[in-house]
Chains A and B, each alone.
Chain A
Amino acid sequence: RKEVEQDPGPFNVPEGATVAFNCTYSNSASQSFFWYRQDCRKEPKLLMSVYSSGNEDGRFTAQLNRASQYISLLIRDSKLSDSATYLCVVMGEYGNKLVFGAGTILRVKS
């Protein structure tokens, strides 16, 4: 079993739609959680950290459920510029390296 699993998609949505991505992780001792965004042929960039209480950054909302070992990302009012691959990322229990999911592809269409 992969340490971090994501639905690969692609998710094809119209502009203005709300879309949600899910992710599960296997190591219950994981300490920190993130969503990264990766544009085609570019490096990953941090989108947002994920906190236990849930957190919001503009149109983006991240949730963490430690009991179920589940992370989610909700994007409201999708824009064309949101088209990218979204990577679920988990920091290991010793806090020294990140483990990446394979990514979920989002395509926003006009």
Chain B
Amino acid sequence: NAGVTQTPKFQVLKTGQSMTLQCAQDMNHNSMYWYRQDPGMGLRLIYYSASEGTTDKGEVPNGYNVSRLNKREFSLRLESAAPSQTSVYFCASRGTAGWYGYTFGSGTRLTVV
């Protein structure tokens, strides 16, 4: 009963380094999302994937890329990390039937120095 699994849980990067945040869900959900959460800002949508094979920009996509590898996995890549990308990153997924709540992963705390 894993739900949404994110890795890593914590990461420290130097400015200019790259990394990929991994997300996988085992609920057969079609839609997946990447959010960042900063103090006083709430969660802001970076990218989302409405279904396997499609991705779309959200509110704050600059500096990020995504890949919907298959129905289960949706990764977020930082090509050249900047201190402004220090944040907590949450992945979420949503099914299409019934209600529209999201299931979130436990988050990745990223610090860029």
Contacts and interface: CB of A to CB of B under 8 A. Distances in A.
A binds B: yes
A44 B90 contact: yes
Contacts of B41: 102
Contacts of B100: 32, 34, 91, 95, 98
Contacts of A87: 42-43
A43 B42 contact: no
A102 B102 CA distance: 17
Contacts of B53: none
Contacts of A99: 45
Interface string A24-45: 0000000010100000001111
A84 B104 CA distance: 17
Contact of A49 (B35, B90, B101): B101
A97 B94 CA distance: 9
A66 B38 CA distance: 29
A100 B48 CA distance: 15
Contacts of B104: 43-45
Contacts of B50: 96
Q: Which of A43, A45, A99, A100 has the most CB of B within 10 A?
A: A43
B40 A46 contact: no
Contacts of B43: 44, 87, 100
Contacts of A103: 42
Nearest to B42: A102
A100 B107 contact: no
Contact of A46 (B31, B44, B90, B101): B101
A101 B40 CA distance: 10
A34 B101 contact: yes
15 contacts: A8-B40, A32-B100, A34-B100, A42-B106, A43-B90, A43-B104, A43-B107, A44-B90, A44-B104, A46-B102, A49-B101, A96-B48, A97-B48, A100-B44, A103-B42
Which 8 pairs from chain A and chain B are nearest by CB? Answer: A102-B42, A43-B104, A100-B43, A46-B101, A100-B42, A43-B106, A32-B100, A43-B107
